A and B are shown apart, each in its own frame.
Chain A
Amino acid sequence: MSDDYVIETRALTRRYGAKLALDHLDLAIPRGRIHAIVGANGAGKSTLFRILLGFLPPTSGTARILGRDSQQLRPEDRARVGFVNEEHTLPGWMRVEQVRAMQQHQYPRWNARAYDDVIGHYHVLPQQKVSQLSRGERAGLNLALALAQTPELLVLDEPTLGLDVVAKRAFLESLMYSNAAEQCTVVYCSHQMEEIERVADNLIILERGQLKNMSAPEDFTARVALWVADIPFKGPEPHTVPGLLEVQRLDGLHHYLVLDQDERFADYLRAQGARSIRSMPVSLDRAVNGFLAKNHATPAAA
C-alpha cells in the first residue's frame, strides 16, 4: 500500500447481524483535491468513517488512513486528520476562546492564521459560549478548529446540513479558498448535488456498502441520459431494458433514464416499436438520484 492514497480499504466488510453495512469495499482515495462521497441512507458512509477513525473495528478486510492501519492509530496520526461532523458537536458550556486554546494546546502544528481566516467569516466573539452560537456559527467554528490543526486529511460528514444559505456559502467559501484547505485532501459527505457540483473534483458513489462510481462529477453525468419514446401499448418489460435506472409513462410517452447507453439505444427502442425517439443529457442531480433510486428498496407487492 502506498502513501499516495489518503484512504485505502481492501475487501472492507462490516456486518451488523444479518446486514452488511460494508460489503468487501475496495476504495482508494488519492491525495489532494476535494472528494465527495454520495450514497443513499444506509449506504455505509457512517460505518466507513467510524472504521477509518478507529472508533469501530471491521468484521473483515483492512482500512488504512494516511497509510496507517485505522485500528492502530496513534495520537500523532489522529492529529493529521481533521473531522467535522454534521452535528458540529462541541462542548456547549465552554467559551469559544477556551475551545480554541484547548485545541491549540492539543495540536502541535496549530495554524493561528488559518483559524482567524475562517472564523472571520462569522460573527463569533471569543467570549461567547458555544451553546449560544447558531448552528451556522458552530459549523464555522468547527471548520476553523479543524483547519487550524493543519490536517493532511479533512473529513466532513454532511457539514452544511441544516445551515441557511448565508452560512452555507460562508462555509463552502472557507473550504474552497482558504490557504489551509489548499494544503489538505478533503473528503466530503453530502446529499446536496448543487453543492457537490460547485465543490467536488471527484465523485464517489457508495451503494449498499460497495463502490459504484469514482470519477469527476461531469464524467458521471455523461454516463446517464434521458430517452423519451412514443411506444404504443405497454412497451418492453422494465427488467429487459438495457441500463435502465428509471422508467415513467407520462402522457402516453415512455421516459427512460438509462446508464451507459450510446446511440444504439435508439435502435433498441425502434425495435420495441417506438415511433418518435428523443434523447437528452441530464443534470448531475438527476443522474445521481436516478442511479441511487434504481436499487432503492420497494415493497415486494408494489
Chain B
Amino acid sequence: MARTVPLMLQIATGDPRPIVRQIVDGVRMQIATGGLRAGDQLPSVRGLAQQLSINPNTVAKAYAELTTEGWLESRQGMGLYVAAPRQRLSDTERERRLDDAVGRFVNDVIPLDFAADEVESRVSHALRRLAPRRTA
C-alpha cells in the first residue's frame, strides 16, 4: 500500500501571496523538481492543515485547484496522489501562457537595465538547475 510522502512545505503569513497560492506553487514546484513523484500520496487535508497550522478549508481549496489543473488525482476513498506526468494543456494554451510569462518577465526585468545576454544567461542557468532533477 502506498504511504503518504512527507510534504516539505513552508508557508508564511504576511506574504503578498495568499496561503492557498503558496501551497499550490509549492506543490507544483516539488513535482517539477522531483521532490514529489508520480504516484506519491499527498498528506490528508487535515494532516497538512495541522502541519502548517492553517484552516483545513485552505488546504482543500489548494488541493482542488491542483486536481483541476491535473497535477493531482484522487483515487476513490484513498486520497490524493501525484498524477502521471502528461501535457495538461493544449498547444495554443501552452503558447499563450508562455507568451504571458515572458511578457511579465520582460516587464519586470526591463526597468532593471541589465544587458540582454546577462539576463538570458541567468535564465538559462536557472532553467538548467531544475532540468536534471526532473529527469533523475
Chain A residues closer than 8 Å to B15, beta-carbon distance: 283
Chain B residues closer than 8 Å to A283, beta-carbon distance: 13-16
Distance in angstroms from A249 CB to nearest chain B CB is 20
Chain A stretch 159-212: residues in CB contact (< 8 A) with chain B? 169, 172-173, 176-177, 193-194, 197-201
Please, how many angstroms separate the alpha-carbon atoms of A34 and B46 in the complex?
A: 16
* Interface residue range, chain A: 20 to 34
Selecting from B1-9, B27-35, B48-56, B97-105, the interface stretch reads B48-56
B111, CB-defined interface residue at 8 Å: yes
Selecting from B17-25, B66-74, B86-94, B114-122, the interface stretch reads B17-25
Chain B residues closer than 8 Å to A169, beta-carbon distance: 53
Contact of A198 with B57 at beta-carbon distance under 8 Å, contacts A177-B46, A217-B18, A218-B18 already known: no
- Residue among A172, A176, A194, A199 making CB contact with B14, cutoff 8 Å: A194
Distance in angstroms from A267 CB to nearest chain B CB is 15
24 contacts between A and B (CB under 8 A): A34-B55, A34-B57, A173-B53, A176-B49, A176-B54, A176-B56, A177-B50, A177-B56, A193-B14, A194-B13, A197-B14, A197-B19, A198-B58, A199-B54, A199-B55, A276-B111, A278-B111, A281-B16, A281-B17, A282-B16, A283-B13, A283-B15, A283-B16, A284-B18
- Which residues of B come within 8 Å of A, CB atoms? 13-21, 46, 49-50, 53-58, 111
- Which residues of A come within 8 Å of B, CB atoms? 33-34, 169, 172-173, 176-177, 193-194, 197-201, 217-218, 221, 276, 278, 280-285
